[in-house]
Structure 1
């Protein structure tokens, strides 16, 4: 078969609800189109309403395909009574059925996904989107998640479709089975790009060849500085991965910063809106506001916007305190520096190190009382110096995309 353009699929899924992921999907398609690919993106498949929310903005700019493996959220609500049991039942069934499809004879996957298999047979490469999705957590739930994001790559190789990972953070993989599955997926890729040195070294230790490249957010061209409004942007998130006590301490440290620096105006910005409560930043914003009932120096932006609109908003701040790491990268595009609070994986620490900003990176798990205020005061004093450093580093990483080969 002769085609003018190469065909590509971007996996594992599209989401409009997290603006960092939205940026990575859109930029992945833009990057591949510049390399001569016609690229489609998998959408989340968890029922009509769930799918509608995930694509209500990018459906106008992306060609979306239904994901062959249905998302476990199809069981209904992810909170409340019975939700865990329902998801466990679906997860167990998925591991049997989709496991047989991924590792068994071809006729199983042809039976389960006849249309998608035909699409795979016309596709040259399945690319991962960028991000930090390829990791696992303890227990069966962690393994199921890793299998869910791996399934499309396993299926692609079954039909001799090449696979590749655009710049990602990887790991940790917490069990022997997690590492087995990760190696199975990654060692069959034609190329694996890591977006920071911690992941680069981690994959090297597993014997997986990989190449460093910038996070796909850096594909967005550097922007002229916006007119600074003098305010401090803050992104927060609900996060159960560190335990309730640690999470409460994190919320309190954010509240203490706002309360103890009344001469500054802070703007709490929601960057992710679901699909579960665990990913809805408005919940964390509400929990912080409950601690700040007498404070007049705090504002909020909780409207759901397109990621390019978020770039403009963040570019107007004096600087950021960012738990959502891509809010920091969006700010960096305009030379706005940020203090980051890492909550999972290697992405924040690794990229901040690459930007020579690791001194302004904290970890939610180890957030010591008063440390955030200490870094805040330091950023106030060094804002202009850090802005120049960020602008220089961002421009350098943006230029590296010309050197990436596929």
Structure 2
């Protein structure tokens, strides 16, 4: 009865169109064979088997042997990056390349990179993302794009004496007369080791949504436990170490949460060196915590292997990101899905869910994207199944190298 009421109350403007396909994968419920999805403007009106459809459509398009599924959610990107001349040898070469790039690159080069990366990430089937930026270069291009996005202004500064000045600088950067619910701005700590305690506190107090690189390398735990190691040497090399800093004597995850640097909604990116005790600790806090893994960059830069199966077994909301072009060759989230299946043993169903609905929950756009449901966006993807060996729609999404098409752009509907 409730569903019938929803169907009756949904407003329709313009042309109502229906698309049939061999498979429809809503994510929020089991795949539908011989399915139909009915859309009006940019919203979904109905998803069901053809024989059960109750709505009338002004046009029905049969996509034949294909699968329809939600657009992907890339929970961690750096849209303003370009590919380096050569692959960074290690984590610290990677950090130095990014630091030098942000200091030396022309603003127009960054804007061009953002626009090209948005075009590519959309072509790969992404409907929503979070972007880490140092200066907001992605804001206006994302406003002009069809993507849903949270933009995190990535902050660094380990010296306590600089905290107030740095915080005010970034607060001024995110002030904007344009209010847009589809593209939002937030402050974010780059990594717990890269900011002073005062700066971390200011961000945690001011923000409801935080994303932070966490446990990317084992060196983070060494730094917080002993105050020594490669991270200290890196901070010294860039003249950003605070000699008044007191060693916490605990690992990175406990430091961030015991000192209350977290917000109401948190995305911990990477977590390559987290263990079960870290996850049990997170459960003791009322804050919402999501873990975003980026398998390709972790593998290619030898950063460590995130314990994805353990996260899932412990009930953590696990989602996927690509990182930026400084660490990976492209921003295709399906390559992260493929690694999760081939190298981490996840089922195609779980891996695809991590890249869709789990990601939507992580970034707070689950009412708009992540699954095919009444009222959500009609910006969903289509894959051709012809010539594919598998009849499993999840496996097709996870493994196919065919390009995706956007359902709402098929035919005359744009």
State the TM-score, normalizing by the size of structure 2.
Answer: 0.28
Specify which structure has the bigger relative contact order, considering alpha-carbon pairs within 8 angstroms and separated by 6 or more residues: 2
Please identify which structure carries the higher strand content. Answer: 2
Larger Rg: 2
